[in-house]
Structure 1
Amino acid sequence: MKKITAFAFVLFFGIFVSKAQVTFNPGFRAGLSLSTISETHADYRPDFYIGAFGQIDLSKRYSLQPEINYIRQGSNNVARNFIDPNTQAERVVYQDLQISYLSFGLINKLRFGQGLQVQFGPALDVHLDDNLVIRKTYNDLSFVTGVAYKMPSGLGFEIRFKKGLFDVLDSDYYYNNSNNDYFFGDYNTNVNFQIGVSYSFDTK
């Protein structure tokens, strides 16, 4: 009886795996990166991202997509409010901040209809360079979500929102508590929108 049960289990598992038809499709993505740093009341910084991915189709509706991306983020017109050590006068200067990351993502993709996709998953952002004078952390952990439309040719169009979890900026350097006209929060995280295209190669 046990042998029959074991044989039935192996047979069932084999049929399941054969029906799954797991496929792997490599590709690349690139586009516009619009970023800011939260609680700085600054402008969005336009820049770019570029990367590569491998789409693992586990079922008709679900794929797992490991990817690696180079992303330039930051924030423009960040107000630094400080006391000039030479004149002891209160001054405000505006600076454009730039941070570059190598981002390793693990994106879940749910497919609906002919080409519509819903994407979400975590990403580990490894610091490459920046022009910040003082920072609280180098690397970041973020969550990614978005939508995409993939055409039969492999060309796709995507919009993503990426939110960092770590405090990346030392707000004490940019904000002097004596001036409430330039409010600067203490929890300054990366906020990033991505608008771009992707292309995946059919390896079937």
Structure 2
Amino acid sequence: MPAFTSYKSFYLNLTLMKKLAILTFAIFASYFAQAQTGPSFGVKVGANYSTITADKDNGIKYKPDFHLGAFADFGISDMVSIRPELLYSRKGAKYEFRATEVVEDEFGDEQTISGEIDGKMIHQYLEVPVLAHIKAGNLFFEGGPTFSYLLKSEADMKMKLSSDGMDFSMDETVETTEDMKRFEFGYAAGIGYELPSGLGLTLRYQGGLNDLYKESDQDSDDEGLGLPSGKMKNSVFQLSLSYRFGAR
């Protein structure tokens, strides 16, 4: 049964990718049939402010990071263009958990146990947003699908336990790439301003549509450890500075 489920998931992803490839081909075929000038190109860099939405968030917080990459701008008309991007983007989240509990030992004496967990989930992606740009003077609005490939994932966790004067601590970084789905599908929407010189500033929101983890058993009782659990999806705010070469 697991093999069938895995095959079914692979088949559905392959079918979706075929449809997206056909749609992308149709868009660019339409562009080259109508465009009066060639595409322009540019580079961008900026900040990510990311978190992970989960069924049981258990203290998930936003984590700052960065993204950088390049883009091409295919003008369809004076107001509309299609802008695919190729980005290296670091996402993830911070999480923290605090608890104090009084328990009885084997002799019936009460002991106070305190625990603290602080951690970060760091996900490194290669991303391809394909966004429509609608221009209103120097102001523009953007939106469209995003396709991401996971390069590496790590969980950085610091834990402290104390019980009646006895302390225990652990600081460990674990690679979690194999636990996660390599491909992520999502969407993005934003607003920006580009000067005639080609210098631009964009504020964008990007959300994931599929669960980050391979196995659905992420719904387990991880909250007992203070860890986020349930289905998890990326959620990112991006602020980017860009420069488009040959801007008019």
Segments of 5+ residues of structure 2 without an aligned counterpart are: 1-32, 100-104, 106-112, 156-173
Segments of 5+ residues of structure 1 without an aligned counterpart are: 1-16, 82-86
Determine the structure 2 residue equivalent to 1:38. 53
Q: Which runs of 4+ in 1 moved over 3 A?
A: 78-81, 89-92, 132-136, 182-185
Instruction: Judging by fraction of residues, say which structure has more helix.
Output: 2
In the TM superposition, 1:119-158 aligns within 5 A as: 119-132=142-155, 135-158=179-202
In the TM superposition, 1:162-177 aligns within 5 A as: 162-169=206-213, 170-172=218-220, 174-176=222-224
Q: CA deviation at 1:144?
A: 0.6
2:138 matches 1:115: yes
Determine the structure 1 residue equivalent to 2:41. 26
For 1:189 and 1:95, how far apart are their aligned partners in 2? 17
RMSD after superposition: 2.7
Q: Which amino acid aligns with 2:69?
A: G
In structure 2, the CA distance between the partners of 1:76 and 1:184, relative to structure 1 (3 Å rule), is closer
In the TM superposition, 1:89-104 aligns within 5 A as: 93-104=117-128
In structure 2, the CA distance between the partners of 1:167 and 1:203, relative to structure 1 (3 Å rule), is same
Deviation track 1:61-94 (CA, whole Å, cap 9, x = no partner) reads 000011100000000125499xxxxx9x895522
For 2:120 and 2:219, how far apart are their aligned partners in 1? 15
Equivalences, count: 176
Instruction: Judging by fraction of residues, say which structure has more strand.
Output: 2
Q: Which amino acid aligns with 1:154?
A: G
Q: CA deviation at 1:23?
A: 3.2
2:105 matches 1:57: no
Determine the structure 2 residue equivalent to 1:48. 66
**Percent identity at matched positions?**
26
Is contact 2:42–2:244 with CA below 8 Å preserved after alignment?
A: yes
In structure 2, the CA distance between the partners of 1:61 and 1:47, relative to structure 1 (3 Å rule), is same
TM-score by length of 1: 0.76
In structure 2, the CA distance between the partners of 1:123 and 1:100, relative to structure 1 (3 Å rule), is same
SS in 1 for 2:61: coil
Is contact 1:37–1:188 with CA below 8 Å preserved after alignment?
A: yes
Determine the structure 1 residue equivalent to 2:4. none
Is contact 1:62–1:108 with CA below 8 Å preserved after alignment?
A: yes
